[in-house]
Amino acid sequence: MKILGIESSCDETAAAVVEDGRTILSNVIATQIPFHAVYNGVVPEIASRKHTEWILPVVRQALSEASISMNEIDGIAATNCPGLMGSLLVGLTFAKTLAWATGKPFAAVNHMLGHLYAAHLVQDIRYPYLGLLVSGGHSIICKVSDFDDIEILGTTMDDAAGEAFDKVAKFYNFGYPGGVIIDKLAKNGDPRAAKFPLPKINKEGHRYDVSYSGLKTAVINQIDQFWNPDFPRTPENIAASFQETAIEILLSRLFRAIEDTGLTTVVAGGGVAANSRLRERLAERSDLNCIFPPLKLCTDNGAMIAGLGFRYLSSGKASPLSSNACARVQGFRRLGRTPAC
């Protein structure tokens, strides 16, 4: 079963063809980074316009690289939540129109569940496991019982991990995208240059939740208070100190979830899953089976959407063509079973 997957939730116009939920026949990603770099962040209006310009040629390229025609496609999947509303609507509307015109079944896919599925494209993973979803908009720790059955254990109470990386990079003019640049700078820095505080979240029901607003404020507005005078204040040292604390915040909550649930398999997904320090820290735990997608599957991509779309369509869970886009998924900000868009 060959599925065409379309992803346009933010600033990547992506399309892919995946066979039987595993074999990637093509995976085309058109990045908009050069258009947003001058603003040190994604401009929604620019993003949606570029999606409109690029969606057709990107889909055509995905079909061409897969050496397949639309007649040979068995179904179409597209992201419908969460993300930038204008961007979502471009990919979703294109996919639904294509499904209607060709008579193919359609699946609306949650973008974050797609990130969670990315590792399944390259490895057989048994359920249940703990999911670690970290991106520019979300920081989620969840118990995963099936491809469409997750239980949110913890999430962000304010800024997401990737958002904190981007804001710190923007303030210090490190460049864009912030997460990638801070990761590179940190390799030549010393995390001992500053000892930033960890958040104290003591409220009942927040055992696995994370917070990044305090760290962001400390790095941007209170750095003198936490700086070690034995180290020069270089971009590399700032990046290394910030990154070390940011990863510690995330892992301290994840390790709690591991201890409480007894689950020892951790599957990561999302843009921050590409962070080298996060991967190093988890690799240090020999008692855990930590699974990361390849770097190209950490960023937004159509393959993860096509792969998850296969799971929906092959199990008879097609979506109606009336499916709409949704910018936010409320359940990702609170405890509960698989949130609906």
pLDDT in tens, 13-25: 999 999 999 999 9
Task: State whether 98 and 170 are in the same domain.
Answer: no
Higher per-residue confidence, 24 vs 333: 24
Torsion of CA 25, 17, 270, 193, to 10 degrees: 40
> What DSSP string runs through 120-140?
GGTS--PSSEEEEEE-SS-EE
Is residue 24 in a domain? yes
- Report pLDDT for 278: 97
Of 43 and 136, more confident: 43
* Residues 309 and 227 reside in one and the same domain: no
Question: Looking at the structure, do residues 325 and 280 belong to the same domain, yes or no?
Answer: no
pLDDT over threshold 90, residue 89: yes
What does the pLDDT average to over 101-125? 97
Residue 136 lies in a domain: yes
Q: Which positions ≥6 away from 145 have C-beta within 8 Å?
A: 127, 128, 151
Residue 313 lies in a domain: yes
307 in the same domain as 198: no
Rounded to the nearest 10 degrees, what angle do helices 213-221 and 235-261 cross at? 160
138 closest CA partner among 309, 5, 327 = 327
How many domains in the chain? 2
Q: Is residue 338 part of a domain?
A: no
Query: What percent of the chain lies above the pLDDT cut of 90?
Result: 90
The pLDDT score that the predictor gives to residue 304 is 98
294-330 tens-digit pLDDT: 999 999 999 999 999 999 999 999 999 999 999 888 6
Question: Containing H/E element for 95?
Answer: helix 85-102
Domain that holds residue 92: 2-117+298-329
Residues 56 and 160 in one domain: no
Are 136 and 272 part of one and the same domain? yes
**Would you state the pLDDT for residue 338?**
62
pLDDT in tens, 251-285: 999 999 999 999 999 999 999 999 999 999 999 99
DSSP code, position 227: B
Q: What is the pTM of this model?
A: 0.94
| Residue found under tokens 């025609």 | 69
- Tell me the CA end-to-end span of the chain in Å, nearest whole number: 26
171 shares its domain with 249? yes
Does 93 share its domain with 75? yes
Task: Indicate if 34 and 70 belong to the same structural domain.
Answer: yes
Decide if 335 is inside a domain.
no
Distances (CA, A) of 335 to 142, 148, 152, 323: 9, 16, 5, 25
Please report whether residue 340 resides in a domain.
no
Q: Are residues 90 and 141 in the same domain?
A: no
Instruction: Give 135-176 pLDDT, tens digit per residue.
Output: 988 899 999 999 999 999 999 999 899 999 999 999 999 999
pLDDT value at 192 more than 60: yes
Residue 174 maps to a domain: yes
Q: Check which CATH number belongs to the domain holding 256 and give it.
A: 3.30.420.40
Same domain assignment for residues 44 and 169: no
Q: Specify if 341 maps to a domain.
A: no
DSSP string covering 142-201: EEEEETTEEEEEEEBSSS-HHHHHHHHHHHTT--SSHHHHHHHHHTTS-GGGB-PPPP--
Looking at the fold, whether 161 and 107 belong to one and the same domain comes out as: no
